[in-house]
């Protein structure tokens, strides 16, 4: 079995639960659900969060980018994302932000409309990246 490497970039602070930001097994990097919650210590319920969808989406993707960088990967390595949205009205806005980070459409994606862990959280995204040879 391939070795397992854990990633918890200091730029994001501690995860909000007993898990890692990302795990690499072999050539695949699995990035945990990521949001725009300000990454500082303390309970998830007390961390600041913008009420603006565009700001949340931008910070969410920037946070994923930080994890990719920490693991020696880039957005070009991402082949799959899963997007959780609080409301379907944000779907078109999502495309504007997502295209900034994944402009080439060389990945697959699934989106769900659902409740998220906090009532004021509007988006959460996880990702997988192929990092073979890196």
What pLDDT does 69 receive? 94
Nearby residues of 75 by Cβ (< 8 Å), 6 or more positions away: 65, 68, 101, 102
Residue 7: is its pLDDT beyond 60? yes
Distance between CA atoms of residues 92 and 94, nearest Å: 5
Report pLDDT digits (tens) over 11-24: 776 666 677 889 99
Distance between CA atoms of residues 89 and 131, nearest Å: 34
What pLDDT does 15 receive? 65
Specify the CATH number for 4-130; select among 3.30.1330.40, 3.40.630.30, 1.10.1040.10, 3.30.40.230.
3.30.1330.40
| pTM for the predicted model, two decimal places | 0.91
What pLDDT does 39 receive? 66
Pairing of strands 28-34, 78-85: unpaired
Report pLDDT digits (tens) over 38-96: 666 666 777 778 899 999 999 999 999 999 999 999 999 999 999 999 999 999 999 99
Domain ranges of the chain: 4-130
Q: Which residue did the predictor score with more confidence, 131 or 20?
A: 131
Q: Mean of the pLDDT values across residues 110-116?
A: 96
pLDDT band at 27 (very low <50, low <70, confident <90, very high): very high
Residue 134: is its pLDDT beyond 70? no
Across all residues in the chain, what is the average pLDDT?
Answer: 89
Alpha helical stretches, state H, the chain:
53-70, 91-101
Residue 124: is its pLDDT beyond 70? yes
What pLDDT does 86 receive? 97
């Amino acid at each position: 079995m391939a070795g397992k490497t854990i990633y918890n970039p200091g730029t994001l602070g501690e995860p909000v639960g007993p898990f890692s930001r990302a795990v690499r097994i072999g050539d695949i990097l699995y990035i945990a659900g990521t949001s725009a919650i300000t990454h500082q210590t303390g309970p998830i319920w007390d961390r600041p969060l913008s009420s603006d969808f565009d700001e949340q989406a931008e910070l969410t993707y920037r946070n994923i980018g930080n994890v990719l960088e920490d693991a020696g990967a880039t957005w070009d390595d991402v082949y799959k994302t899963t997007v959780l949205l609080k409301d379907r009205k944000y779907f078109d806005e999502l495309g504007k932000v997502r295209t900034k980070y994944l402009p080439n459409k060389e990945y697959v994606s699934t989106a769900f409309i659902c409740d998220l862990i906090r009532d004021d959280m509007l988006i959460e995204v996880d990702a997988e990246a192929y990092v073979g040879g890196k």
